[in-house]
């Protein structure tokens, strides 16, 4: 059979990160950056993952089953506070190996020879949903390569279960966004589609956070469990939603600034990133981290910005030795096509 490719978009959270884990609403937008998985059958029984220029790893079917059992056991250790979430997976390939093992198990298939090659123009570990995109592209490419139909809800369930091994707690927001595409209003697993905004969105990649998403979520959890800050996040998200639907840029920017203040309160915006956002605000823009942020170090992944004066924004980015780039909504969720 010819190779099959599946492409899954990344995402940006417009409002409600962290709070969405505790049942509060969030706005998320799939974006035109992707993880692409290419699947091809192998004559031997090896299950191979290939990251060009990075790594290659092959497992037999029995070894894949053993890996799943070990990861499940270690995740239980995390749930009972015996292990940190960082200790559950021993490298990024294990996330995808675990996801593929769930696919074989759920479809009642014995693990069979297949090679998955992954490419990404989506920054890894920077708050753009790279894990969800990698899982979905892998599962979709593998399913089509093995001529198995997987309903969208089952694909979501498998990807969501796998994502928990990486992040500890997961609202499913990243998976939903990459699975369906477009702009979504999301609350407690339910989603409503929104018309994408035409406002000028930009990104600055401040670098991969020193702490993982799971560690940032765990550190911020005390604020949501012991205060009413989740309600404050919900209020800001409602304001952002209304402003975006009316395409009212001033109100969108005000909501973004309010969201940034709340993220500062829960301690996930490093000081250096706070300084850059303060400069953007003084220059007439609005900005916030888009993702889990970080509770240590100087980097916080992606900063989402709305600003009319692009040249002024470029100067600010250069002062912080960062690259600025525009971003657009991707209306398609994960999709397949024949590899050339």
Residue 286's domain is classified under what CATH number? Answer: 3.30.70.890
Residue 51: CB atoms within 10 A of its CB come to 17
Provide mean pLDDT across the span 229-256.
94
**172 and 128 co-located in one domain:** yes
Check whether residue 51 and residue 185 sit in a common domain: yes
**Number of folded domains that form the chain:** 2
Q: Which residue range is the domain that position 235 belongs to?
A: 195-326
In three-state secondary structure terms, 335 is strand
Q: Is the dihedral of CA 182, 188, 192, 197 positive or negative?
A: negative
User: Residue 191 is inside which H or E element, if any?
Assistant: strand 190-194
pLDDT score of 140: 97
Angle at 31 between CA 199 and CA 285, to 5 degrees: 35
* 186 lies in the same domain as 219: no
Per-residue model confidence (pLDDT) at position 218? 85
Residue 103 has pLDDT above 80, yes or no: yes
Query: Model confidence over 148-165: pLDDT tens digits?
Result: 999 999 999 999 999 999
Over 80: is that where the pLDDT of 214 sits? no
Nearest-angstrom CA–CA distance, 154 and 136: 11
Question: What pLDDT digit, counting tens, does each position of 19-34 carry?
Answer: 988 989 999 999 999 9
Query: Residue 339: what pLDDT?
Result: 63
pLDDT category, 309, cuts 50, 70, 90? confident
CA angle 281–306–20, rounded 5-degree value: 95
Residue with tokens 């930009």: 202
Query: Do both 128 and 266 map to the same domain?
Result: no
Here the tokens at position 191 are 């989603």
210 and 150 assigned to the same domain: no
Is residue 213 within 8 A of residue 293, CB to CB? The reply is no
- What CATH number is associated with residue 99? 3.30.230.10
Identify which has the larger pLDDT, 337 or 46.
46
Query: Cα–Cα distance between 287 and 295 in angstroms, integer?
Result: 18
CA-based max dimension of the chain: 61
Q: How far apart are alpha carbons 310 and 316 in whole angstroms?
A: 10
Residues 132-156 have a mean pLDDT of 95
Query: Is 229 within 8 Å of 266 (Cβ atoms)?
Result: yes
What is the crossing angle of helices 152-167 and 173-180, to 10°?
Answer: 140
180 and 228 in a single domain? The answer is no
Residues 32, 181 share a domain: yes
Residue 15: which of 241, 278, 261, 273 has the closest Cα? 241
Same domain, 13 and 158: yes
Read off the pLDDT of each residue in 224-252 and give the average, rounded to a whole number.
Answer: 94
pLDDT band at residue 53 using 50, 70 and 90 as cut-offs: low
Q: Please count the helices (runs of H) and the strands (runs of E) in the chain.
A: 10, 12
Q: CB under 8 Å to 259, separation ≥6 — which residues? A: 15, 16, 233, 236, 237, 240, 288
Residue 54's pLDDT is 66
Under the banding of pLDDT at 50, 70 and 90, the label for residue 1 is low
Yes or no: say if 285 and 296 are a contact pair by the CB < 8 Å rule: no
Element (H or E) spanning 217, and its range? Answer: helix 213-226
Q: Indicate whether 186 and 99 sit together in one domain.
A: yes
Distances (CA, A) of 239 to 96, 136, 248, 311, 328: 37, 31, 11, 28, 21
Burial of 59 (0-12, 13-18, 19+ CB in 10 A): buried
Residue 221: is its pLDDT beyond 80? yes
Residues 219, 293 contacting (CB under 8 angstroms):
no
pLDDT of residue 60: 93
Q: What is the DSSP letter of 329?
A: B
The overall average pLDDT reported for the chain is 91
Cα–Cα distance, 338 to 286 (Å, whole number): 41
Do 30 and 156 fall into the same domain?
A: yes
Residue 340: its pLDDT value, please?
58
Q: Are residues 160 and 255 in the same domain?
A: no
DSSP secondary structure letter of residue 2: -
Give me the phi and psi of 214, to 5 degrees please.
-60, -40
Q: Provide the whole-model pTM.
A: 0.85
Residues 161 and 310 in one domain: no
- Res 303: pLDDT: 95
Q: Is the pLDDT of residue 181 over 90?
A: yes
């Amino acid at each position: 059979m010819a190779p099959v490719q599946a492409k899954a978009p990344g995402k940006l959270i417009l409002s409600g990160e962290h709070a969405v884990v505790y049942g509060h609403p969030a706005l998320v937008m799939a974006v035109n950056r992707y993880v692409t998985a290419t699947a091809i059958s192998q004559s031997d029984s090896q299950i191979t993952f290939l990251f060009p220029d990075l790594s290659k790893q092959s497992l037999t079917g029995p070894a894949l089953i053993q890996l799943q059992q070990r990861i499940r056991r270690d995740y239980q250790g995390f749930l009972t506070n015996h292990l940190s979430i960082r200790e559950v997976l021993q490298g990024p390939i294990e996330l995808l190996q675990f996801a593929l093992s769930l696919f074989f198990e759920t479809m009642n298939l014995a693990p069979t020879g297949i090679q998955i090659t992954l490419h990404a123009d989506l920054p890894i570990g920077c708050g753009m949903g790279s894990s969800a995109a990698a899982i979905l592209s892998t599962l979709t490419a593998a399913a089509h390569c093995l001529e198995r139909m997987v309903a969208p809800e089952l694909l979501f369930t498998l990807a969501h279960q796998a994502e928990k091994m990486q992040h500890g707690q997961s609202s499913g927001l990243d998976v939903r966004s990459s699975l369906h595409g477009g702009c979504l209003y999301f609350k407690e697993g339910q989603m409503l589609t929104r018309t994408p905004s035409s406002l000028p969105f930009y990104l600055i990649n401040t670098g991969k956070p020193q702490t993982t998403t799971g560690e940032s979520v765990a550190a911020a959890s005390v604020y949501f469990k012991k205060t009413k800050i989740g309600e404050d996040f919900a209020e800001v998200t409602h304001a952002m939603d209304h402003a975006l639907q009316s395409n009212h840029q001033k109100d969108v920017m005000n909501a973004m600034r309010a969201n940034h203040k709340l993220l500062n309160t829960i301690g996930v915006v490093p000081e250096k990133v706070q300084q850059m956002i303060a400069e953007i605000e003084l220059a007439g823009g609005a900005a916030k981290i888009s993702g889990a942020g970080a509770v240590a170090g100087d980097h916080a992944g992606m900063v989402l910005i709305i600003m009319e004066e692009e040249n002024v924004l470029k100067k600010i980015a250069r002062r912080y030795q960062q690259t600025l780039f525009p971003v657009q909504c991707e209306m398609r969720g994960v999709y397949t096509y024949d590899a050339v």
